[in-house]
């Protein structure tokens, strides 16, 4: 509602390619394709219900280079991820119907 949303044109430039959570616009559907980084991080995300193949959306951004807020659209949960971690989660755009 109050969030900053990038416009459609910006979204199109990244359509069809894999990028990290730090590069995606707010409010659009993406699918997790890979989680880079150590097993500790990987296990933690799995425990929190964030798996490869899940649909997610960026839901917010803390000030001054703070963490990003990620919503899992499959399970309707939200987690805050530090930018270092967010950069290790790779996503690709999903169609609006979630295919």
Partner 1 sequence: MDDRIPVIVFIGQPNSGKSTLFNAIAGFRAQTSNFPGTTVCHAHSEVVWKNRVYSIVDLPGTYSLTPQEPQEKVVLTHIFREKPDLIVNVVDASLLCRNLELTVELLELEYPMVVVLNMMDLAEKKGMTIDVEALEKKLGVPVIKTVATRGQGTRELMDRVEEVLARQTAPRHLQYAGEVESRIRKLTEMLPVDFPIIANLRFTAIRAIEAETLAVDRFFLENNPDFKRNLDRIRREISALREAPAYEVLSAERHHLALKIFEGCCRVRHARLSGLEKLDSFIMHPVLGLFLLLLIFAGMFYLIFRVGSPLETWLLKPWEALRLGIQERLGQNLPAQLLVGLVQGVGGGVAIVFPYFIPLLVLMGFLEDIGYLARAGFLMDAFMHRLGLHGKSVPLFILGFGCNVPAIVATRILESRRDRIITALLIPFIPCAARTTIILALVAFMLGPWWALGFYFLNLGVVAVLSSILTRLFKYSSPGLILEIPGLKWPSLKNILQKTYFNLREFVRFAWPILIAGSVVLSLLSFINFDRLVNSVLSPFVSGLLGLPDSLGVTLVFGFLRKELSLLMMFQALGVGYGQLLTVISRTQLLTFVTFVNFFIPCLSTLAIIWKELGRKIALVSVLLNLSVAVLISSLVRVAFSIF
Please, what is the minimum distance in Å from the beta carbon of residue 64 to partner 1? Answer: 4
The Cα–Cα gap between 56 and 79 comes to 11
Cβ-based nearer residue to partner 1, 14 or 85: 85
- Nearer to partner 1 by C-beta: 14 or 70? 70
* Distances 31 to 2, 62, 64 between C-alpha atoms, Å: 24, 22, 26
Considering the complex, what minimum distance in angstroms separates the CB of residue 50 from partner 1?
9
> How remote is the C-alpha of 19 from its chain's centroid?
10
Minimum Å distance from CB 16 to partner 1?
22
- What the block records as the tokens of 16 is 């069809």
* Closer residue to partner 1, CB minimum distance, 15 or 64: 64
Q: Are 92 and 84 in contact (CB under 8 A)?
A: no
Compute the least distance from the CB of residue 8 to partner 1, in Å: 21
Calpha distance 98→29 (Å, rounded): 7
For binding to partner 1 (CB under 8 A), which residues are involved?
1-3, 39-49, 51-52, 59-67, 69, 72, 74-85
């Amino acid at each position: 509602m109050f969030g900053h949303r990038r416009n459609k044109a910006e979204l199109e430039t990244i359509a069809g390619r894999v990028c990290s959570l730090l590069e995606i616009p707010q409010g659009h559907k993406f699918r997790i394709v890979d989680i880079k980084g150590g097993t500790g991080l990987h296990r933690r995300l799995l425990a929190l219900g964030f798996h490869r193949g899940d649909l997610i959306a960026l839901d917010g951004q803390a000030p001054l280079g703070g963490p990003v807020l990620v919503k899992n659209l499959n399970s309707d949960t939200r987690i805050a991820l530090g930018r270092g971690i967010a950069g290790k989660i790779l996503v690709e755009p999903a169609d609006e119907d979630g295919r």
